[in-house]
Amino acid sequence: MNSFLLQTQIQLKQESPAAIIITVIVLVVIVLIFFFASRGGARGSSASASSSRAYSKSSFRKRARALGLSPEQIKSLENLVEKYKVTDLRNLLNNTTLLDATLKKAIKEVSESGSSDKIKEAHKLTLYRIKQIIERNSQVRQVAKSSNQLQVGQPLTIQAEGSPRYRSRVIANLRASLAVEVPVDAENNQVRWKRWTTVKIFFWKSNGQGFTFETKLSNYADVKGTPSVLLKHTNSIKQAQQRKYRRKVLERPAFFYPVRILTTGTGKNQVKKAFVETKNGTLGTILDVSSGGCLLKATKPLLRGELIKVEFETGKKNQITTFGKVVSVKKTKPLGGEMHIMFTKVSQENLNKINAYVYDF
């Protein structure tokens, strides 16, 4: 810069007054550009440093506690931050791809470690619970304001007044309507209502947020080779209750057994034991599953309040056994029903298998 100014001074002595004025103006502009550029860089560095200071370790812990993470879970997350050199701490405490990538890497490493199975399963369960708590309580919320926003493949349920809910999915999001697959009943027969029937749609985002809206059935058509119901678009979508745990469609066979509580002895010597009626096993279908429970469809469902043992697979040779309680039963035509089951006893290993399936970790 100094040599440039020296050369300019020598040239000025040889130029005309007009040329000298123009040269001076150019020099002033160059100096101003350097001045503001240096200030902007300093300001950017200051802002970056300020942002880094704003999310210190104490801020991280405070935010983590506010989300509902326990001291053990916070410590585990801090270990991952240090181990994997995570710098965006604020983003890590939101339900983001950064959180998923970090936890997925950690779970893979735990699985391949030389620790005992008991220690590995406990560690993996801690990581999955961190994901569940942040997913449920993070400020990052998915918004759905219009049916135009629904993605192809989005699972949903559809219900007309006086009829049961039926499972379906989005086939196409067209300009004037939403095309969803024609639902089927328990006998695999298509369920079709009259045109302009008002139907209620329920769907859930990946983080468990539920949404619902009402619309009218405008027509039927084959869309992408699939028999579809055409629903009029709406901007009146309401948020429904958020699920505690993320669910995922399974639709695989399952065996279930009634569980009875047998009481022996009297008074202080009274002992209660659970007895599984293995001779009364029944085949059903698990429609969806979460770490908190499942939806099980059967021709002979148990009654509400009954205890149950369920055996199923989330994939080939991935056997899972759970115990639970039937919290509600919804009848299906022409017979049978769907049991909403809340898990009451699941081993850490089986719970991790369910979480691995649900979160695809």
Instruction: Please give the full DSSP string across 119-188, using - where no structure is assigned.
Output: HHHHHHHHHHHHHHHHHHH-S-------GGGPPTT-EEEEEETTS--EEEEEEEE-SSEEEEEPPB-TTS
Cα–Cα distance measured from residue 290 to residue 208, given in angstroms and rounded to the nearest whole number: 11
pLDDT tens sequence for the chain (361 residues): 555 444 545 454 455 565 556 665 656 666 666 666 555 554 544 444 444 445 688 899 999 999 999 999 999 999 999 999 999 988 899 888 999 999 999 999 999 999 999 999 999 999 999 999 998 887 555 567 889 989 999 999 999 988 888 889 999 999 999 999 999 986 789 999 999 999 999 998 766 678 899 999 999 999 999 999 999 999 999 887 667 888 888 989 999 999 999 888 887 888 888 899 999 999 999 999 999 999 999 999 999 999 999 999 998 888 999 999 999 998 887 788 999 999 999 999 999 999 999 998 8
C-alpha closest to that of 133 among 296, 244, 59: 244
Residue 242 confidence (pLDDT): 65
Question: DSSP letter at 335?
Answer: S
Residue with tokens 């942002």: 51
C-alpha closest to that of 284 among 308, 316, 261, 307: 308
Question: Using an 8 Å Cβ cutoff, are 193 and 217 in contact?
Answer: yes
Considering only the top CATH level, what class is 147-240? mainly beta
Question: Using an 8 Å Cβ cutoff, are 315 and 329 in contact?
Answer: no
CA triple 201-203-208, angle to 5 deg: 155
What is the H or E stretch that residue 92 is in?
Answer: helix 89-92
Cα–Cα separations (whole angstroms), residue 202 to 28, 238, 308, 337: 66, 10, 28, 19
Residue 316 confidence (pLDDT): 81
Strands 282-290 and 248-264: antiparallel
- Cβ neighbors of 322 (< 8 A, separation 6 or more) are 294, 309, 310, 343, 345, 346, 350
CA triple 316-120-96, angle to 5 deg: 80
Q: At what angle do helices 117-137 and 57-67 cross, to 10 degrees?
A: 80
Cα–Cα distance measured from residue 322 to residue 308, given in angstroms and rounded to the nearest whole number: 8
Residue 10 confidence (pLDDT): 47
Phi and psi torsions of 159, nearest 5°: -145, 130
Cα–Cα distance measured from residue 63 to residue 6, given in angstroms and rounded to the nearest whole number: 57
Residue 210 confidence (pLDDT): 83
Domain ranges in the chain are: 2-54, 57-137, 147-240, 248-359
**Bridge partners (DSSP) listed for residue 350:** none
Q: Does domain 248-359 have CATH number 2.40.10.220?
A: yes
Question: Using an 8 Å Cβ cutoff, are 205 and 211 in contact?
Answer: yes
What is the H or E stretch that residue 336 is in?
Answer: none
Cα–Cα separations (whole angstroms), residue 195 to 182, 203, 232: 13, 22, 11
Cα–Cα distance measured from residue 236 to residue 215, given in angstroms and rounded to the nearest whole number: 9
Q: Looking at the chain, how many residues does it have? A: 361
Residue 47 confidence (pLDDT): 44
Residue 270 confidence (pLDDT): 83
Residue 53 confidence (pLDDT): 44
Q: HEC string of 243-258?
A: CCCCCEEEEEEEEEEE
Give strand ranges (E) for the chain: 155-160, 166-173, 177-181, 198-204, 210-223, 226-232, 238-240, 248-264, 271-276, 282-290, 293-298, 307-313, 319-331, 337-345
334 prior amide bond cis, ω within 30: yes
